[in-house]
Amino acid sequence: MLLLASRLSHCLLLTPDSIATLNLTDRIGTTVLGGVLLFALFLPTLLVLRRHPQRGIIDCAYQHSRCCGRVVCGGYAALGIFIVCLDILQFCDFAEKVMSSGLSVTALAIALVAVAFVATFYGIQALGRTAALVTAFASVCLLVFAFALIPEMDVVHFPPTVGQGAGAVVRCALEELPRTAEVVVIGMIYPYVRGSQSRAVAAFCGGTVLLTLLVYLTAGGVLGDFALQTAYPYYTAVTAARIGVFQRMDILITAVWLSTFFIRMTLFCLLFTDSTRRLFGMRGARYAVGIVFVLLAVFSWAVRRGFLSEAGYPITVVYWIVLGVFCVVLPLLLWGLNRIKRRRCV
């Protein structure tokens, strides 16, 4: 639920950048393939942690050697901050284009980061319970909007498939996949998963596919090609929803997005605080959080708006490197080291 809530925040912001390479009809195939690839990305982490379900990936690294643990902790802390920075950019972009609250976007972003950092002190279980509520509410909202928008949908709105072949679909799925940064967090939250971890991961992948499909079908069915001309197609589609006398329900989707976004930001802040606590202890982690908060506040104020859309491709590349390191290389390395250690013991 925690990962799904976090993933929803990205899924609701279906941006034209992410649908430009293939049209919405072709994207349906891409989404299903993306779900399968997503599950495959979890496998190395599940492989290394299956023998020790009570330990996270950082525990495994510390088990091997203190130095290794410190490096992994540092890597996770840096990763958490990197994703929070991207989230701040995303929030500023959405707030400027859509929310038009009249308040300073920078002030809003700083407030959000502050609340996210404070929320990390309540722990991952409290966040998980909140995420369960948020995910349930968001899923109901997505379904309600989809039904409310049926009168505005038409088969003709779905563009004819481009027919570029399976290669284009696979390429597009590979471009979209690294944006699911939640995969890297599984190493941290693994010990907290109730029941079968593999089933939980499969449920996350299935839920992601279903909710993404719902968003694609709603935005595509309502807007068609016009989806490519708007900043946030799903949000634009929802502005046309009408239930009885109620109109302009986009405020509801803004609230849903903010809730899921808060979960995502808190999750990655938690990744940072948890890693720094292991590195510097409780007292040191507080100082680190304070310093990083100030840096993030400066970042929110100084960063150029529109950077996110301009740097779309480089960010995708960085995401791929990050995923490659934290989801494939690191787990497989730890798995290999553990195996060697076990053999030596034998």
Partner 1 sequence: MKWLWVWLIPLLFLLCGCRSEPAVGEQVIVTGMGIDKQDGVWTLAIQAVEALKTAGSLSEQNESATAVYTADGASVAEALQAFLNETGKRTYILQNQIFVLSERLCRQQSVFDVLDYFMRNQEGRALVDVVVSHDAPAALLDITTGSDAIPAEYLSQLLDEGRRYARAAEAHLLDIERASSGMYDLLLPRIAVTNGVPQLEGTAVLRNGVLCDILTQQETTGMLLAGGDSDRCLYTIDDITFLVSDMHRRLTVESVGGTWRYRIALTGVARVMEQQPTMEGSTIQPEKALQHVEIAIATTAETALRRTATQDHSDPFGLSRRTATLFRHRGVTQAMVYEQLPHSRIHVTTQLSLRH
To partner 1, the closest distance from the beta carbon of 134 in angstroms equals: 16
Q: 17-42 burial, b for 16+ CB within 10 Å, e for fewer?
A: ebbebbbbbbbbbbbebbbeebbebb
Report CA dihedral (78, 83, 85, 89) to the nearest 10 degrees. Answer: 170
Q: Does 159 bind partner 1 (CB under 8 A)?
A: yes
Q: How far is the CB of 338 from partner 1 (least distance, A)?
A: 37
Of the pair 17, 225, the CB lying nearest partner 1 is at 225
Q: Is 108 in the site for partner 1 (CB under 8 A)?
A: yes
Assess 225 for contact with partner 1 (CB under 8 A): yes
Cβ contact 86:268 at 8 Å = no
Query: Which residue of 5, 86, 119, 315 would you call a contact of partner 1, by CB under 8 A?
Result: 119
Question: Which range, of 42-50, 99-107, 137-145, 168-176, touches partner 1 by CB under 8 A?
Answer: 99-107
Q: Based on CB atoms, which residue is closest to partner 1, 21 or 239? A: 239
DSSP 216-266: HHHHHHHHGGGGGGSSSHHHHHHTT--BTTB--THHHHHHHHHHHHHHHHH
**Of 9-17, 126-134, 234-242, 333-341, which part binds partner 1 (CB under 8 A)?**
234-242
CB neighbours of residue 192 within 10 Å: 14
According to CB under 8 A, which one of 2, 38, 98, 265 is a site residue for partner 1?
98
Q: Candidates 62-70, 224-232, 277-285, 330-338 — which segment interacts with partner 1 by CB under 8 A?
A: 224-232
**Nearest partner of 24 among 197, 268, 229, 207, judged by Cα:** 229
Q: Which of 24, 33, 48, 112 binds partner 1 (CB under 8 A)?
A: 112
Residue 65 or 164 with smaller CB distance to partner 1: 164
Distance CA(147)–CA(139), nearest Å, equals 12
Q: Tokens for 238?
A: 């929802």
Examine residue 121 and tell whether it contacts partner 1 (CB under 8 A).
yes
Task: Determine, following the binding rule CB under 8 A, whether residue 157 of this chain makes contact with partner 1.
Answer: yes
Nearer to partner 1 by C-beta: 96 or 310? Answer: 96
54 binds partner 1 (CB under 8 A): no
Q: How far apart are CA 252 and CA 143, in angstroms?
A: 13
Residue of 334, 284, 260, 314 lying closest to 77 (CA atoms): 284
Minimum CB–partner distance for residue 183 and partner 1 (Å): 29
Rounded Cα gap, residues 48 and 198, in angstroms: 13
Q: Considering the rule CB under 8 A, would residue 110 count as an interface residue with partner 1?
A: yes
Comparing CA positions, the residue from 254, 289, 255 lying closest to residue 270 is 289
- Binding to partner 1 (CB under 8 A) within 161-200 occurs at 161, 163
- Report how far residue 245's alpha carbon sits from residue 242's, in angstroms, rounded to the nearest whole number: 7
Q: Which stretch binds partner 1 (CB under 8 A): 3-11, 154-162, 274-282, 337-345?
A: 154-162
Q: Which residues are bridge partners to 246 per DSSP?
A: 243
224 binds partner 1 (CB under 8 A): yes
Contacts for 326 with CB less than 8 Å, ≥ 6 apart: 75, 76, 79, 183, 184, 187
**For partner 1, which residue of 51, 242, 341, 342 counts as binding (CB under 8 A)?**
242
> Cβ closer to partner 1: 30 or 236?
236
Q: Which of 329, 304, 242, 321 is nearest to 79 (CA)?
A: 321
Task: Specify whether the CB–CB gap between 149 and 238 falls below 8 A.
Answer: yes
Which is closer to partner 1, CB of 181 or CB of 237?
A: 237
Residue closer to partner 1 (CB basis): 118 or 291:
118
Applying CB under 8 A, which residues contact partner 1?
A: 98, 100-103, 107-108, 110-112, 114-115, 118-119, 121-122, 152, 156-161, 163, 222-226, 228-229, 236, 239-240, 242, 247-248
